[in-house]
Amino acid sequence: MIEASACSKIILFGEHAVVYGQPAIAVPLVDLRAHVTLQPSEVGLVFELPRLTESIHCDTTPSHPFCVLVQNFSQRYEHNLPNVCIKITSQIPIASGLGSGAAISTAIVRGLGSYLDIEIPLETQNELVYAIEKLFHGTPSGIDNSVIVFEKPLFFIREHALEMLENKLPFRILIGDTGVTAETHVAVSAVRQLYEERTSKTRAVIDEIGRIAYEARDCMKRGSWRDLGALMNHNHRLLQTLTVSTNQLDLLVTQAVEAGALGAKLSGGGRGGNMIALVEERDAENVTEALLKTGAHQVISTLIPSVTR
Ligand code: PMV
């Protein structure tokens, strides 16, 4: 049996603006992963998914994104479609801004590579996964697949070479899950509509979010957590004006800051999903309690490691 996995991710700064060419900052969550196991199958190419009682048979549903992923893989490596059963298990909450779809696709590509004894460069993994992200989301910026495949903090600008981010000191992020699933493409379409209706005002907000991402990159390089927290609060207010926050997200953000977080904001597509709070170690417990008391479904605590060049 072959096993493979891929991490999840959070966006620290720049979601939505990244779709319009502004920079965004995303970090991998290495401990929260999607896993696959692959075994020979006697009934062709089959996927077993969590929470689905019936398997997906690619000969009857070839347009399922995961089947397309294997077809693309097979074409790229001039290999027949393998007769394999790919069982997916994932610790990553779905449709909540943690990159569950991209993580599963990445784990599938890695698993197929091992199963067929083909070494797949990270750039190729990224291309294969991005193609499937487009099937799921329409016009993704590519940030999710990039941070998940490379498993490194990224300063990401659409259609630019990837920039690995420097981070002077480790810092703790709490992720508050609203428990409300939200499809990224719905929030992205809402911002697109706003952009079309009120272009100059929306453009100004998007540009300001981009400016924050540049500043945040410098703060991480210097280890200035107070400034980074203030930038998160500012970024959240701008996301509110893009209409992607909700009362619940706003409340979680406010309560986190009141309980001692250095800053907080929604993370990912919004309209549900997750918020994040930057905390000093001594405040982590307090803020976690405040988030749970405010109705967070769960709180995940993660230490973003230092990365120096
Ligand atoms: O997949 P999510 O929910 O983390 O959102 C991705 C970030 C967006 O900027 C909203 C969309 C994109 O394609 O970059």
Give DSSP secondary structure letters for 271-296: SSSEEEEEE-GGGHHHHHHHHHHTT-
**What pTM was computed for the model?**
0.94
Compute the residue count for the chain. 309
The predicted pLDDT at position 84 comes to 96
101 lines ligand 1 (CB under 6 A): no
Q: How confident is the model at residue 265 (pLDDT cuts 50, 70, 90)?
A: very high
Q: Distance (Å, rounded) from C-alpha 24 to C-alpha 20?
A: 11
Q: How confident is the model at residue 302 (pLDDT cuts 50, 70, 90)?
A: very high
Q: How far is the CA of 30 from the centre of ligand 1 (A)?
A: 19
Ligand 1 atom index nearest CA of 16: 9
Q: How far is the CA of 14 from the centre of ligand 1 (A)?
A: 9
The predicted pLDDT at position 48 comes to 94
Q: How confident is the model at residue 32 (pLDDT cuts 50, 70, 90)?
A: very high
The predicted pLDDT at position 94 comes to 85
* Residue 274 near residue 267, CB atoms below 8 Å: yes
Give yes or no for residue 99 having a pLDDT over 80: yes
| Tokens (6 digits) for 94 | 């779905």
pLDDT, the chain, mean:
95
The predicted pLDDT at position 50 comes to 79
Q: What is the pLDDT of residues 189-245, one digit of tens each?
A: 999 999 999 999 999 999 999 999 999 999 999 999 999 999 999 999 999 999 999
Q: How confident is the model at residue 107 (pLDDT cuts 50, 70, 90)?
A: very high
Q: How far is the CA of 39 from the centre of ligand 1 (A)?
A: 33
Give yes or no for residue 309 having a pLDDT over 80: no
Q: Which residues are catalytic?
A: 144
The predicted pLDDT at position 269 comes to 94
